[in-house]
Amino acid sequence: MPRRGENIYKRKDGRWEGRLLKKDGKYQYFYDSSYKGVKEKMKHSPETKKSKKKQDAVPAKDAAGLLEAWLEDTAQRVKPSTYDSYYRCMNKYIIPFYENNKYSRITEESVFRFTKLMKEETDLADSSRRKILAIFKIALREILKGSPEYIAILEQIKPPKGGEKEVEVFSMKDQRLIEQAALHHEDKRAIGVVMCFYTGIRLGELCALKWKDLDLETGTLSVNRTVSRVRNLEDGEDKTMLFVGSPKSRKSLRKIPLPEFLLQRLKAKRGEFDEEDYIYSGNQQPYDPRRFQKLYKRILNQAGVTDRKFHAIRHTFATRALELGVDIKTISELLGHSSVSITLNIYAHSLMEQKKAAIEKFNDLYEFNAKKQPLL
């Protein structure tokens, strides 16, 4: 059996044999009584020296080249939606920084300067700056793996100070106005907005729902896929396509019970379609999330409600659930978060309101007991 990564074998007669593939496609053989002896002979052979000279003649990639190579490699290893995010951040911010500043190497100083630049980039939202630095760090972890400078360089990447902004949530009044506008909208797909208010599913998950995902017997909806618009690598950089893939994480594969009023509305339409049809396109092509975004904007305008991102509906669902006393573990599973800690971090403000309400109950308990049996 050969040594791992080497074409060196121990023969039955006790000798060691090495095989080296030559340029003409034939093997050159080396023999010795020891493994070390064969390895030395192979190392000093004319064929090995030629190969070494050829490798030395190839110029080493500069910093920008290393980042581009990493990006190209990730295209084969990550989901298209993830790659699209990497592509935008790398080609718009990170690679141009190294090219414009003519950095030949990735150093502590260059990483520190880029991090500082991102922190001072006031035109970008905090979330965008954090995302760019996070992707930069992911790339450097792989590029610098095994380098003696690995830890020192990565320590230069520190996210901008300050916590995340408080999540945007619709008030109960605004929610009712949006629901009424959606239910009476001329475009029947508008009911999808209402579904998000009562299930908390993401926009991509909504557009990827098929009729076969609806179980009328159990009254549940299975979330098995998501749709997003991503870069089409085959047809050129400026073109995009709809891509249907797995949801954000393993925990995002989930079953969600539907409220009765939604179940009845869907049940009334179920017989008109095949089980492989997408619910919101009516055929076997997914509905474009961008088109649904535009429909959502029209609904907000019709309802007279201040514009917010579509994701605010998901935040509203979680906040309403907390207000209704639903436990955080259940909310986390309904949202499809990969861990309860994510739910806790996002909705810390709403949880504080719940804590205040809980302590107020203790205050009521104290006052009740004090009236019943006054302290001496």
Q: Is the pLDDT of residue 55 over 50?
A: no
The backbone torsions φ and ψ at residue 205, rounded to the nearest 5 degrees and listed phi first, read -70, -35
Q: Is the pLDDT of residue 264 over 70?
A: yes
pLDDT given for residue 163 in this prediction? 54
Helices (H), the chain: 35-43, 46-57, 63-74, 80-89, 95-100, 108-120, 126-143, 150-154, 172-183, 191-199, 203-207, 260-270, 289-303, 311-323, 328-335, 340-346, 348-372
Highest mean pLDDT, choosing among 61-65, 155-159, 258-262: 258-262
SS (H, E, C) 225-282: CEEEEEECCCCCCCCEEEEEECCCCHHHCEEEECCHHHHHHHHHHHCCCCCCCECCCC
**Mean pLDDT for the chain overall:** 86
pLDDT given for residue 233 in this prediction? 62
DSSP 117-135: HHHH-TTS-HHHHHHHHHH
pLDDT digits (tens, 9 = 90+) for 214-230: 999 999 999 999 999 88
Lowest mean pLDDT among 84-88, 154-158, 178-182, 233-237: 233-237
pLDDT given for residue 197 in this prediction? 97
Residue written as tokens 């590029």?
143
Strand pairing partners for 242? 229
Place 368 in a pLDDT band, splitting at 50, 70 and 90. Answer: confident
What is the spatial distance between Cα 104 and Cα 120, in angstroms, rounded to a whole number? Answer: 24
Place 6 in a pLDDT band, splitting at 50, 70 and 90. Answer: low
How confident is the model over 17-43, as a mean pLDDT? 76
Helix 80-89 / helix 126-143 crossing angle, nearest 10 deg: 100
How confident is the model over 131-146, as a mean pLDDT? 93
Q: Give the closest residue to 178 by CA, choosing from 310, 349, 322.
A: 310
The pLDDT > 70 percentage for the chain reads: 89
pLDDT given for residue 353 in this prediction? 75
How confident is the model over 208-215, as a mean pLDDT? 95
Task: Tell which CATH classification among 3.40.50.300, 1.10.443.10, 3.40.50.1000, 2.170.120.40 matches the domain 172-352.
Answer: 1.10.443.10
Lowest mean pLDDT among 68-72, 258-262, 372-376: 372-376
Q: Is the pLDDT of residue 43 over 90?
A: no
pLDDT digits (tens, 9 = 90+) for 320-363: 999 888 999 999 999 999 899 989 888 877 777 777 877 888 88
pLDDT given for residue 56 in this prediction? 47
pLDDT given for residue 361 in this prediction? 84
pLDDT given for residue 186 in this prediction? 94
pLDDT given for residue 49 in this prediction? 59
Contacts 24+ apart (CB under 8 A), 10-19: 10/35, 18/42
How confident is the model over 120-125, as a mean pLDDT? 86
Lowest mean pLDDT among 19-28, 67-76, 166-175, 353-362: 19-28
pLDDT given for residue 4 in this prediction? 40
pLDDT given for residue 209 in this prediction? 96
Lowest mean pLDDT among 101-110, 155-164, 287-296: 155-164
Q: Is the pLDDT of residue 105 over 80?
A: yes
pLDDT given for residue 300 in this prediction? 97
pLDDT digits (tens, 9 = 90+) for 184-199: 999 999 999 999 999 9
Q: Is the pLDDT of residue 62 over 80?
A: yes
